[in-house]
Amino acid sequence: MEIPRNLSASGSASGAGLPPGQRRRRDFPRFGVPFTSRPAVPDVPELVVNGAVERELRLPLTEVFDTLPRVEQTADFHCVATWSATDLHWSGVSFRQVWEHIVVPRCRPADAVAIIAHGADAVTAVIDLRDAMADNVMLADRLDGQPLGDRHGAPLRLVSPSQYGYKNIKHLTRLEATRTFPKPGRILGDHPRARVALEERDPYLNARIYRLIGRTLTPPIAWLNRRAARKSAYSHDIIT
């Protein structure tokens, strides 16, 4: 099967109107929790695949990028708190190709229905495999022509433009295959699918109510991120 070099940005608003409830930002800030120092990039970064698999796999990222062709896409990023950063150019490898060409033959996942993506900053997200296998989902190591910095998830980030930002795990270190869908781990904004086009912001709250909550919480979350940036000497990343 031919591996695409340019991924579709289906579900993205790039070049068009924004999805329901979203407002465009001029910048692309680091946003959300935890408000702590960003994890250091290891000397030999790797991606671990475990969980419902026959054999655990530890993949050096150099092997991933040597095995699969690099792909590019321009897409929008939609935060569940109602802001959007548009026309971001990502570079990396297709998640589907990682799964089909590396994970399946080498790990043999047993009836997995979802993955739990783990970041080195202790943030996790459960992603339905139906969503993870979409054409525009990728593992990115570059943004707008530059290697990912600690601000946006170095050395590897999961990019899923059709889902809200909390599914786009930064500092990706592990993919845990699972046969079941774990219960939500967040108090707010943890929809099982989190599809932007359907405004799946939260499994329980009405989307319009969640918009109000998100816009109310954005200023204090931004302030906490600014404070964390100052404390960890990342003053160049301060969110405005």
Residue 138 CA neighbour count, 13 Å, CB half: 30
- This prediction's pTM: 0.87
pLDDT of res. 7: 55
Q: Is the peptide bond before 29 cis (omega within 30 degrees of 0)?
A: no
Number of structural domains the chain divides into: 1
Residue 153 lies in a domain: yes
**Whole-angstrom distance, CA of residue 29 vs CA of residue 25:** 9
User: Is 156 contained in some domain?
Assistant: yes
Residue 115 belongs to some domain of the structure: yes
Residue at 113 is within a domain: yes
| Residue 223 domain flag | no
Per-residue pLDDT of the chain (240 residues; tens, 9 = 90+): 344 455 544 444 444 589 999 999 888 888 876 656 678 888 999 999 999 999 999 999 999 999 999 999 999 999 999 999 999 999 999 999 999 999 999 999 989 999 999 999 999 999 999 999 999 999 999 999 999 998 899 999 999 999 999 999 999 999 999 999 887 666 666 899 999 999 999 998 999 999 999 999 888 887 787 777 676 654 334 333
Distance CA 15, CA 164 (A): 18
Residue 169, domain member (yes or no):
yes
Radius of gyration of the chain (CA): 17
- CATH number for the domain spanning 198: value is 3.90.420.10
Domain with 180, as residue range(s), is 23-29+42-206
* Residue 70 is assigned to a structural domain of this protein: yes
Residue 92 lies in a domain: yes
The angle subtended at Cα 30 by Cα 26 and Cα 33, nearest 5°, is 135
